[in-house]
Amino acid sequence: MINLKNIFYQYSKNDNWALQEINLSIFPGEWVAIVGSNGSGKSTLAKLMNGLLIPTRGEIHFFGRNPCNENDLWEIRRMVGIVFQNPDSQIVGNTIEDDIAFSLENIGVPPVEIDKRLTEVMDQFQLYPLKNQSPHTLSPGQKQKLAIAGVLAMKPKAVIFDEASSMQSPKDAQELYRMMSDLHQQGTTIVQITHEMEDLYGCERIIVLQDGMVKLEGKPGEILANTIMMKEAGLIPPFAVRIRDSLMESGYDEIRNAITPDQLVKQICISALKT
């Protein structure tokens, strides 16, 4: 679906490489998490994967389309939506209804279809009663819903969430993850960009970036269990993994494979029953 071959990117000729030697494939219907500390290249990669940036070297193809071809670029941005960390950066309309309609008008959706999609997404995100309200009067959680609604109205095949939960309350962040899970179950490809390792239990594959390069990729169980690698990449292991490691230092080797809170509790109970 999205193929990156030997990608290098630098913002100017005098800068160091923001990304180098990136070779990745994102497959249809997959939920992939891309993680790394600040400055690892996560957001740069997100923008390349949406066609907002063009690689300095290498090739990217989206369903066989090339972002270097201007005729393909608008279709790519329709197929691959992106939700940024700060929803204010995506707000362009004077009202909620206008804001969502803007993206649809840009990609040439017919007026009758625009009205239909507006009603659908505003109902889905409980925004319909507020449709004539200024987006700037919304709470941070509501603004993020508006940003997601604007992306989903375009009916993309993939959605990139670039640190989309970092400015949300814990409650709003949990709701965002539920939305991501629902989208994934409906067949939408999810690319989750984050530095929060606690957020990764729902994904199918984790890609770790360090200094603009892919340090490691694998299934969540493989990555989250590797405490040493996470620390080397400047990442804080999930709470359950940190507790697991502390207990293992005290001799609880039976819990070695526990990486989630539920697994940790289950293994501790099994271990306790044996003693």
* Listed residue (99, 88, 154) closest to 132, CA to CA: 99
Span 19-28, pLDDT tens digits: 999 999 999 9
Query: Using alpha carbons only, what angle is made at residue 219 by residues 214 and 222, rounded to the nearest 5 degrees?
Result: 90
Q: What predicted TM-score, i.e. pTM, was given to this entire model?
A: 0.87
- Domain ranges for the chain: 2-236, 238-275
- Per-residue pLDDT at 197: 83
As a whole number of angstroms, the distance between CA 36 and CA 230 comes to 9
Residue with tokens 């990764």: 200
Could you tell me which residue, 188 or 78, shows the higher pLDDT? 188
Q: Are 171 and 94 in contact (CB under 8 A)?
A: no
Q: Decide if pLDDT at 129 tops 80.
A: yes
- Per-residue pLDDT at 112: 93
Instruction: Kindly give, in sequence order, each residue whose CB lies less than 8 Å from that of residue 40, ignoring residues fewer than 6 positions away.
Output: 195, 209, 210, 211, 212, 233, 234
Q: Work out the average pLDDT over 233-251.
A: 85
Backbone torsions φ then ψ of 189, nearest 5 degrees: -75, 130
Q: Is 137 exposed, middle or buried (0-12, 13-18, 19+ CB in 10 A)?
A: exposed
Span 141-188, pLDDT tens digits: 888 889 989 999 999 999 999 988 777 778 878 888 888 898 899 999
DSSP H or E run through 262 = helix 261-274
* Listed residue (198, 218, 197, 199) closest to 207, CA to CA: 218
Q: What is the SS3 assignment for 187-233? A: CCEEEEEECCHHHCCCCCEEEEEECCEEEEEECHHHHHCCHHHHHHC
Q: Are 24 and 56 in contact (CB under 8 A)?
A: no
Q: Are 206 and 220 in contact (CB under 8 A)?
A: yes
Structure tokens at 226: 């590797």
As a whole number of angstroms, the distance between CA 217 and CA 265 comes to 27
Q: Decide if pLDDT at 210 tops 90.
A: yes
Span 26-70, pLDDT tens digits: 999 999 999 998 889 999 999 999 888 999 999 999 888 888 888
Superfamily, domain 2-236: P-loop containing nucleotide triphosphate hydrolases (3.40.50.300)
Confidence grade of residue 275 (pLDDT, cut at 50, 70, 90): low
Span 92-104, pLDDT tens digits: 889 999 999 998 8
The one-letter amino acid code at 268 reads I
Q: What is the SS3 assignment for 64-121? A: CECCCCHHHHHHHHHHEEEECCCHHHHCCCCCHHHHHHHHHHHCCCCHHHHHHHHHHH
Fill in the DSSP letter of residue 59: E
As a whole number of angstroms, the distance between CA 66 and CA 46 comes to 16
